[in-house]
A and B are shown apart, each in its own frame.
Chain A
Amino acid sequence: MSMREGQFRNPSGCAVTGVIDRSGRSMSGQCMIDAITVMHDRSNGLGGGFAGYGIYPHYKDHYAFHLFYDSKEAQADTEKFIGRHFEVVYSSEIPTSKIPSVTGEPIIFRYFLAPMPIRLSHSHLDEREYVARCVNRINAEIAGAYVFSSGKNMGIFKGVGFPEDIGRFYRLDEYEGYAWTCHGRYPTNTPGWWGGAHPFGLLDYSVVHNGEISSYDANRRWIEMFGYKCTLQTDTEVITYIIDYLVRKRGLTLAEVAHVIAASFWSTIADKDEEAREQQTLLRRMFPSLLVTGPFSIILGYEGGLMALGDRLKLRSMVCAEKGDKAYISSEESAIRRIEPELDRVWSPAGGEPAVFELYGRGSGK
């Protein structure tokens, strides 16, 4: 009997890529499918996924929950829970196409939700915290149900298969968004559970990650003190929670987050100017348990932007590029060239140095 994702740690190698049009113009998900196809060999058919931002303009003020169900019972239980905690504005099965190589798909539904005002006010929680806790409860308490996307005007689409097949399965050419990320997975175990594919999301944060972090249990045991439950036991999950905690709960900027999770070495910090030295030392002293070691390159998607970040030793490849308003991030330059052969600028960010690309006028930071 094979175990499901979350019952064991599943180290993976991976391909990641992302694109954003900073002017806010929309592009279909097809570009991501094209890009990831080039990096086919970085995946092994055991997981692929996408996150699109700006894809639900008609429901942009509602939380878009994407769910996997193993059974109708799980769906019924979950919909009861959702009904108690949210007003359901619209719900439907997520449209898919039959792809021969994509098999064993669960029941896949989406819901556009607004928190039930009375329950929200009784909870004494801020709205996003309320939603996050509801997501955690469904995932932890309802067997056979899994919320894999929960942000506003964004959505995660993932499954077991090669990423290009997963993209076609979800008919991503029919979605238009200003930013996309994509992930192809090369796990060293056999998962077979769709929830275990990436991106991993919480609220509007989505993370795609390539690597295997060595700090996992130190990070996990620390972040679980603050109401997070790392049910999937994946690096991506814990990194997402760390970012959520630092940005949403503690109010750090993304640059500061980078100095926590991919902190510069003390010897590097010592050579910086006084202000940088003090600020970075302070961050390391405040959040030492959130330092992430071992190889990783991640693309964080959030409302209005993408951030690329590699580990402090740069043990995983990560290339950034720009062409006009568009910015690209990828494990390999070839994937970027596939969708935009003529680039204005191509570079590899240094380890621990975040590359942030945001919609114009958003203002860097959160």
Chain B
Amino acid sequence: MNIYIQPDYEVVRNSDQCIACRVCERQCANGVHSFDPDTGKMKADSTRCVNCHRCVCLCPTHALKIVKSDDTYKINANWDNQTVNEVYRQANTGGVLLSSMGNPKPFPVFWDKMLVNASQVTNPPIDPLREPMETRLWLGKRTAKVERDEKGRLKNTLAPQLKLDVPILFSAMSYGSISYNAHESLARAAEELGTYYNTGEGGLHRDFYRYGKNTIVQVASGRFGVHKDYLEAAAAVEIKMGQGAKPGIGGHLPGAKISADVSETRMIPQGVDAISPAPHHDIYSIEDLRQLVYSLKEATEYKKPVIVKIAAVHNAAAIASGIARSGADIIAIDGYRGGTGAAPTRIRDNVGIPIELALAQVDERLRQEGIRDEVSILVGGSVRSSADVVKAIALGADACYIGTAALLALGCHLCRSCHTGKCNWGIATQEPELVKRLNPDVGYKRLVNLVTAWNHEIQEMMGGMGINSIEALRGNRLMLRGIGLTDTELRLLGIRYAGESL
């Protein structure tokens, strides 16, 4: 017997406002809304609602809202409703709980406990509307030898680097986990912004090879979609060792999302769950990683930087040190709040560490060892605003990956139901009827808007600090102060408390 579980959220319709146009009904892939011809009124079945807000947003008279249900079991600070419901759900099904997107638990957000400096009197703030304010940067190794040609000019001995006009990249989201139109939006936006998007482990659709110079292709443990043309098409290759949302396990794409097109792109069977292995089975140690790094460099004739992406875990600093010595050009660190298209709930909510602490420790360790310039550092895993970007760079990052924020720009409302494959916003789905809801002409423009807006804000904050190049912000921790942090947290972040002077 299955125990009935009361839905967490309820659909509330203001019947004075509802004109029964049935837009909500047509737009809900979960079948929440229906029209009752007997009463001439709309009805809603809240048990089907995932709270994606598609109906709320499209209702022309704003007659709908979704509210948190006030139904409750006996109040229990230990056994809250969700905990109890999860037990019922597992007792009903015998299954591992699945979730999507980032860890929603109320852990501390360290971004919100750091404050940024501004110039007053002793040096001038700089006005980005009137003076140049540079956000361009290059990612990759900077450990070039100083060599000169016969005329005494410096020779370019740099390893390949990636040029970014903004310190923001779109993080890895595979074709399969997200839709064709979502990918097209990301690719076109990356091109227009002068940055990069990342294929994730889902391969690269043939149609998108033309965005290759703005594409980072991923090589993950399942090797989905990896072949010669794929590597050659890209600007950089990323080895995915781990993901912040699910450290220690491989990717999981439900079979329902493996359409013919996804199957062809990934080079895997249609309709069958694609579960990539937890480790790379050719990497059981750091020296094995070095071999894969150099295999990929050989395969791409040393023309492309190689990124190694890890989940932020307890030993991130030491791991990063190993990676910096492995030949990799860039380290990407993904914090425990990072998004995912599907992850076991317990792993998503309990494994890994905050990106802020991991970043601070990785950057400091690499500097202590004198190898910070062997690699650039990319961070992701819940970078939510331009302020987070500024703080990340001041802590020591070169640039930030954004995933969730990019999806929000495309319409995502964080209902965390990607794994069902029925995304009403046309993002995390492969159903043609739903995919078409995301028009890339609209989507790409919204992404460009978002990053452009963030970049303006970054410039404003930099200008306030009297800094006119993003390079001078990188690792500039004196520009940060902590608030509401313990001594240990301050020490780990390498910053002082608010009110402590220079």
Contact = CB atoms under 8 A, between A and B. Distances in A.
The answer to whether A and B assemble together is yes
Interface of A: 8-13, 188, 211-219, 221-222, 224-226, 233, 250-252, 256, 263, 265-267, 275, 278-279, 282-289, 291-295, 312-313, 315
Nearest to B363: A221
Contacts of A225: 367, 370-373
B60 interface: no
Interface stretch (B35-43, B92-100, B460-468): B460-468
Given A224-B367, A226-B370, A283-B154, A9 B478 contact: yes
A219 B473 CA distance: 9
B156 A221 contact: no
B139 to A, nearest CB: 10
Given A217-B476, A293-B468, A288 B124 contact: no
Contacts of B372: 222, 225
A265 B132 contact: yes
Contact of B466 (A224, A252, A279, A294): A294
A226 B67 CA distance: 58
Contact of A10 (B154, B467, B476, B502): B502
**A-B CB proximity, top 6 nearest:** A9-B502, A215-B472, A214-B466, A217-B478, A288-B471, A218-B476
B153 interface: yes
Interface of B is mostly: loop
B131 interface: yes
B146 interface: yes
A153 to B, nearest CB: 28
B501 A218 contact: no
Contacts of B501: 8-9
Given A211-B123, A279-B154, A291 B367 contact: no
A289 B448 CA distance: 28
Contacts of B137: 288
B466 A293 contact: yes
Contacts of A283: 154
Contacts of B471: 218, 284, 288-289, 291
A8 B502 CA distance: 6
Nearest to A215: B472
A10 B502 CA distance: 7
Given A10-B502, A265-B134, A313-B131, A252 B124 contact: no
Contacts of A285: 138, 142, 158, 161
6 contacts: A251-B146, A256-B154, A267-B132, A286-B146, A294-B119, A294-B472
Contacts of A282: 154, 156, 158
Residue among A212, A251, A292, A293 facing the most chain B CB atoms (10 A cut-off): A293
B133 to A, nearest CB: 9
Contact of A212 (B123, B131, B156, B473): B123
Nearest to A315: B124
Nearest to A217: B478
Residue among A275, A286, A292 facing the most chain B CB atoms (10 A cut-off): A286
B477 A217 contact: yes
A286 B466 contact: no
A288 B122 contact: no
B467 A293 contact: yes
B136 A266 contact: yes
Nearest to A211: B123
Nearest to A225: B370
B432 to A, nearest CB: 44
A8 B25 CA distance: 64
Nearest to B158: A285
Contacts of A8: 501-502
A214 B474 CA distance: 12
A289 B154 CA distance: 19
Interface in B348-389: 367, 370-373
A225 B477 CA distance: 16
B345 interface: no
Contact of B472 (A250, A251, A293): A293
A213 B473 CA distance: 12
A293 B479 contact: no
B142 to A, nearest CB: 6
A82 B477 CA distance: 36
A221 to B, nearest CB: 5
B478 A288 contact: no
B275 interface: no
Given A218-B476, A288-B142, 9 more contacts: A211-B123, A215-B476, A219-B472, A225-B367, A265-B134, A283-B154, A288-B471, A289-B142, A294-B472
Residue among A214, A224, A233, A292 facing the most chain B CB atoms (10 A cut-off): A214
B143 to A, nearest CB: 9
Interface string B153-164: 110101001000
Residue among A218, A221, A265, A279 facing the most chain B CB atoms (10 A cut-off): A218
